[in-house]
Amino acid sequence: MTAVDAPAPEAVPDDWRAPTLSDAEYRWRARRYRFRTVRRAAGFLSPYLIVWGVFLAIPAVWGIFLSFNQGGLIKGDPRVFVGFDNWTRTVSDSELRTAVKNTSIYVLIAIAVVFTLAIFLASLLNHYKKGSNFYKVALYFPLLAPPILGALMWFFMVNFDFGILNLIKRTVIGGDGIRFLGDNPHALLTIVAVEVWRGLGFWVLFYLAGLQSVPEELQAAAKVDGAGKWRRFRRITVPTLRPLLLFALVIAVIFNFQLFDSVQVLTDGGPRLGTATVVWFIHKRLFKFQDTGLAYASSIGLLVVVLVLTALSFWLLGKRRQREA
């Protein structure tokens, strides 16, 4: 039926109206024709899907299975199925509890500080535009260095003997230096400072972009109406930024909850677990090969927390889009 005879329209004028294909054949060929898009899509998708599937999707699912097991990460340490044992112990393990506590404290302080500073600096840059490009670039600088290097730079800054912070302290206030990384709670606060230093530039640019989306006319109108600076900030700037703020908050929690690099290189969790974080805990347990089961279970816990927060961020982003539309 593929070769259709061309009707001779002049000879048999109305013959051309009759359909060539039966309904059944038409449907079958239509389906086969539509299927070509699947073949094409498969061609374009498979490179990514293979990498993603093998190295992310399958491991994620495997991880759930692993959380009911102990060991199996290296040869000589066979995997043993332990049921819900790991999960019950996540609740009671004191080291993990400390790690979660530290991480939460860190997340709270770091985000509060970095957001406050970022919004403050962003509004300054938004107002004083002269040379703002230089300031933006300079503030962005810490992001260039890998977290490890950023942390190492601060390793010099906070050194007990020659760190500039202690030099200043000794000169200005007097007395002995501060053991920034050797005492609690200084160590965790130092980690906070390092991470705030690293992230500040990003969030300044982030909020600056948000501020610049506040309509200029709105500001001008409020000014004409005699609204003071603080009032304008509260009544116009904050409402405009609020959807952005919530989204940013969720994203920041997701990122900061994974704190690891600077902890690993600066304090390795110490002193006395004072800077132990969740990811540090997972890494430690996995690759010191002690109680890997607990690490398996906490990995999945982390995964669930992040997935929930991701869903929340999408929801917030969707709401923001809706509002803009």
Partner 1 sequence: MARDVTTDPATLEEAPPPEATDDATAMAARLAEAGRAKRLNERTRMILAYVVLTLFVVIAIGPAFYLISPAFRDSVSLFTYPPEWIPSEPTLDNYRFLFSSTSYVRWAINTLIFAGSTTLLTLATNTMAGYAFARLRFPGRNLLFFVILATLMVPVAAVLAPTYLTVNTIGDWPIIGNWIDIDTYLGLILPSAVSPLGVFMMRQFIETLPDGLYEAARLDGAGEWRIFTKIVLPLIKPALVVLGIFVFMLTWASYLWPLVAATDNEFRVLTVGIASLKGQFVTDWGILAAASLLTIVPVTIVFLFFQKWFVQASMAGALKQ
Partner 2 sequence: MAEVILRQLTKHFGSVEAVEDVTLRIPDGEFLVLLGPSGCGKSTILRLIAGLEDATRGEILIDGELINFKDPTKRNVAMVFQNYALYPHMTVYKNVAFPLETARMAREEVAEAVQRAAEMLEIEALLKRLPEQLSGGQRQRVALARAIVRQPLVFLMDEPLSNLDAQLRLQTRLELMGLHERLGITTIYVTHDQVEAMTMGQRIAVMKDGRIQQMGDPTEVYDVPANTFVATFLGAPPMNLISGSLERDNGQVSFRFEGYELAVDPATSVIAPDTLEEAVGEAQLGVRPEHLTLASPDAEGLPGVVRFLEPVGSDLFVSVNVAGHAVQVRMPPDTQVSTGSNVRLAFDPARSHIFGADSQNLRS
**Contacting partner 2 within 6-25 (CB under 8 A):** 6-7, 9, 16-21
Binding mask 35-54 for partner 2 (x = CB under 8 A): -x------------------
Query: Within 10 A of 288 (CB to CB), how many other CB atoms are there?
Result: 10
Residue 317, C-beta contacts closer than 8 angstroms, at least 6 positions apart: 247
Instruction: Look at phi and psi of residue 228 and say left if phi exceeds 0, alpha if psi is from -120 to 50, else beta.
Output: beta
Which of 98, 102, 110, 201 binds partner 1 (CB under 8 A)? It is: 201
The correct pick among 96, 110, 114, 200 for binding partner 1 (CB under 8 A) is: 200
Rule CB under 8 A: which of 9-48 touch partner 1? Answer: 37-38, 40-41, 43-45, 47-48
Query: What residue 30 binds from partner 2, partner 1, none (CB within 5 to 8 A, per partner kind)?
Result: partner 2
Residues 6+ apart with CB under 8 A from 260: 277, 279, 280, 283
Q: Contacts with partner 1: how many residues (CB under 8 A)? A: 99
Q: What are phi and psi of 70, to 5 degrees?
A: -130, 135
DSSP conformation class of 226: T
CB burial readout 60-89, b (16+ within 10 A) else e? eeeeeebbbbbbeeeeeeeeeebeeebbeb
Nearest to 178 by CA among 152, 159, 204: 159
Query: Taking the complex as a whole, how short is the minimal distance between the CB of residue 15 and partner 1, in angstroms?
Result: 30
Structure tokens, 98: 């400390």
Write down the least CB distance from residue 34 to partner 2, Å: 7
Size of the site for partner 2 (CB under 8 A): 19
Among 100, 115, 292, 316, binds partner 1 (CB under 8 A): 292
Smallest separation, CB 20 to partner 2 (Å): 6
- Binding partner of residue 73 among partner 2, partner 1, none, CB cut-off 5 to 8 Å per kind: partner 1
Residues of this chain that bind partner 2 (CB under 8 A): 2, 4-7, 9, 16-21, 26, 29-30, 32-34, 36
